[in-house]
Structure formats: structure tokens, C-alpha cells
Amino acid sequence: MGNHGIPGWLIKGGIVDRYTVISADCHGGADLRDYRPYLESRWHDEFDRWADAYVNPYGDLKKADADRNWNSERRARDLEDEGIVAEVIYPNTVPPFFPRGGLTSLAPSADEFEQRLAGLRAHNRWLADFCAELPGRRAGVGQILLNDVDEAVQDVHFIADNGLTGGVLLPGMPPDCGLAPLHAPVYDPVWAACEERGVILAAHGGSASPDYGEYPASLSIWLMETTWFSHRPLWALILSGVFDRFPRLRLVLAEQGSAWIRGALDTMDMFSAQIARGGIGELLFLDPLVLQRTPSEYWQDNCAVAASFMHRDDAERRDLIGVDHVMWGADYPHREGTSPFSREGIRKTYAGMDPVEVQAMLGGNAARIYGFDLDALAPLAAEHGPLVSEVMGGLDAVPAGATSLAFREHMTMNV
């Protein structure tokens, strides 16, 4: 990596003045009715009926500041105020014909599939325009449905053709969803299209849990288990040999921490070695898959993590998975993210650490993975980026009202 993605002109006598911060995990989307122009005209009447009856279930999308999702000028100003000069944008608002957001992009029936596919494509078109408003500063993550592999392949090509450099979001696939699991070879044409076009696969946290029903403990159980279900794409793709078949494919795990990854890789390394030796005891499977390399090697060559509102504990363990594989994210505009205290969160997380490695996690790795031009971003960073000296000095006190998990041992949540 050399200088870990530090723009040359920001290095003065070997010391970086300000960091170039790229948030590898932000969220956005259009206001509900603003999706209408992005739908094919044949859907307009049906969309109008649906929108008239729709009640948004998300409290944050009912607030006066919900326009942070789609107000381009406000969003750019907010992020600059927090020291952030570029971002990767995952979905947040509700696309047409969805009961909820599109992170779990499933469709139980043929009619719903057709409607929801049209809705996701409207979102992708909107997002392409939104990113184009600030060229070089926004990498949009497009969406697909895996109910129909041929349609998903078409959408991968649309994402590549329309500059959505954040890649393609793997839809959350709960085990009770009725589709083939992610490790099934049926999805190989999708992986092949992503490899061919250089489209990153993104797996975002919080979208793959099963239905827990409407019970008093449902939320608590979901909170306990959601991270585990979010982690599954890592071992599903590695252990099914996807990276053997498509060695140039890249996977980014977003908003699910990073401390768990080393342990998961160690476990996979052990199991894959046992399978290769035939030493699996009483567990008998027909022709178990033998990988060409160790899971840890696939991590090194094919994977990275957008650790989002990164806690200091994760930063201190960066060497366990490789500092060049770790990206910071603000999770703007979410409540659990660092906004509006990203500068303070960065200071708390990275105080006293090697500035070269901090720059890698704050922006250099994201620039390399998503193709941001650090030299083009350098003037903005020189104006808005957090000072290395301030980050090095740490944080004296957590700001009042902070709700990010980056401050979790100090904060009091304001409900």
C-alpha cells in the first residue's frame, strides 16, 4: 500500500496535517413521491394508489430532518462539518411498493416481485442521479433482487453502466425466505457479472434475520441474533468456493463491526483443513467441497469491512485482520452512527495511533476499494478534514447527546 492512501501533498515533513475522511457507510434515498419520475410510466397510476395509502413505519423518516437522506446541499454541508469529504451510500428510505426499506429485498409472490423490482430500479436510477450531483464524492450502492437470476444480472450491468461505484447490495436472505441459500451455485451468473464489471458485493448488517413474530421479546431476540445472521455472507461465499470460481470478486461487509472476523476466519481455517484431510469424524456428507486456499487467504485477497461507527476496541485489533482491510463509517444519518459527533468519535477511536494507519482506515482503504481520487479530494480535506494533532490527542469528554455505539461505554441514550 505504500503510504496507505495519503495524498502526497498533505504530507509535510513526514507528518500528515489533516486526514482525508471517506465514510464507507452512509445511508440515503429519495423522499417517497420523488421516486415517481424514476419509475417506468406504466407503474405511475399504481404507484399513486400505493403511495396514497402507505404509512411509513420508520420514525426517523417522519422527522423534519428526514431530508438529510435526499437534500444534496444539506447532506454535503453536514458531512463537511463533520470532517467527511466523500461517502459510500447504502439505501435508507422506502422504495416504491415495499412495506419497509429495501435492505431485505425479497418478494413472496410473482406480482410482488414485479412491483418491487420496478421499485428498486427506480431507486437505482435516483441514486445514480444523486451521486452525479457531486462527482467523485459519492459512491452509491445499487440494489438487486435474487428471486430471478437473469434480472439480477441485468441490474448488475445497470449498476456498472451508471456509475454506482459502491457496488451491489446483497439482499438480506433470512433462512425462512424461500429462496436458495447464498451458497447455492444458482447465483454464479450474478457473481460472474460482478467480477466481469468490477462491481463490489456489499453485505450490510441488520437485514437477514428470520421473522420473530409479534411477541414482547421479539425485539430483544432480534438484537441478540441480528449480527450473526448479518455475518453469514462471509462464510457462505468463502466456504462455497465462490472466490475460487471468481477470484477477482470483492466482498465488503458493512455495519457489523470487525472484532468477530478473526475468530470466524480461524474457525473456517480449521474446518476447511479438516475437510481437506477427510478428518471430519462422524460427519458424513456427499463430496464435501475442498477449497483451493485457506479462508484467511480469501479474506486477504477478496474481502474488507466497513466497520462503521468504529469503536476503539476494534481499532486496537486492526492487525488481526489487516489494517488495509478496515474502513471507518459515520452511518449518517442514523442515530446509532457518529453524526453529528463524527470528529469526536474519530478522536476517541484513533487517539495515539500511527497516523499512517489511521489514514488508511479513515479514507485510504475506501479510496482504493471504491476508486475515490484522493488527490481530487485533497483540497476539501485540507479545508474540512480533522487535524491529525487533535485526533492524536484523543477526547477529553464525550459530547452531551451522543448516541453512537462508538461512545457506548460512556453515553446515555436519549430516547
Tens of pLDDT, residue by residue over 62-94, are 787 899 999 999 999 999 999 999 999 999 999
Q: What is the pLDDT of residue 3?
A: 53
The strands making up 21-28's β-sheet, listed across from edge to edge, are 21-28, 84-91, 138-143, 167-169, 201-204, 251-254, 303-306, 326-327
Q: Is residue 305 part of a domain?
A: yes
Residue 34 covered by a domain: yes
Are 189 and 149 in contact by the 8 Å Cβ rule? The answer is yes
Q: Is the pLDDT of residue 6 over 90?
A: no
For 223, the grid coordinates are: 438484537
pLDDT, average across residues 213-221: 92
CATH (domain of 397): 3.20.20.140
Nearest Cα to Cα of residue 120 among 150, 82, 151, 76: 151
In a domain, 413, yes or no: no
> Which is more confident, 107 or 105?
107
330 alpha-carbon distance from chain centroid: 11
* 399: in domain: yes
Asked if residue 97 has pLDDT above 50, the reply is yes
Structural domain includes residue 336: yes
Instruction: Decide if 2 is inside a domain.
Output: no
Lowest mean pLDDT: which of 27-41, 275-289, 388-402? 275-289
* 275 inside domain: yes
pLDDT band at residue 10 using 50, 70 and 90 as cut-offs: very low
What is the DSSP code string of 356-373?
Answer: HHHHIIIIIHHHHHH---
Greater confidence (107 vs 135) lies with: 135
Indicate if the pLDDT at residue 103 is higher than 80. no
Q: What are the tens digits of pLDDT across the range 345-390?
A: 999 999 999 999 999 999 999 999 999 999 999 999 999 999 999 9
Measured in whole angstroms, how far is the alpha carbon of residue 195 from the centre of its chain? 18
Specify the number of domains making up the chain. Answer: 1
Contact between 228 and 253 under an 8 Å Cβ cutoff? The reply is no
Residue at 3 is within a domain = no
* pLDDT the model gives residue 175: 85
Supply the range of the domain harboring residue 155: 8-407
Task: Report CA-CA distances (Å) from 71 to 74, 129, 174, 333.
Answer: 5, 13, 33, 12
Condensed to tens digits (0 to 9), the pLDDT of residues 117-137 reads 999 999 999 999 999 999 999
The predicted-structure confidence for 220-238, as pLDDT tens digits, reads as follows 998 899 889 899 999 999 9
Q: What angle do CA 107, 121, 97 make, to 5 degrees?
A: 45
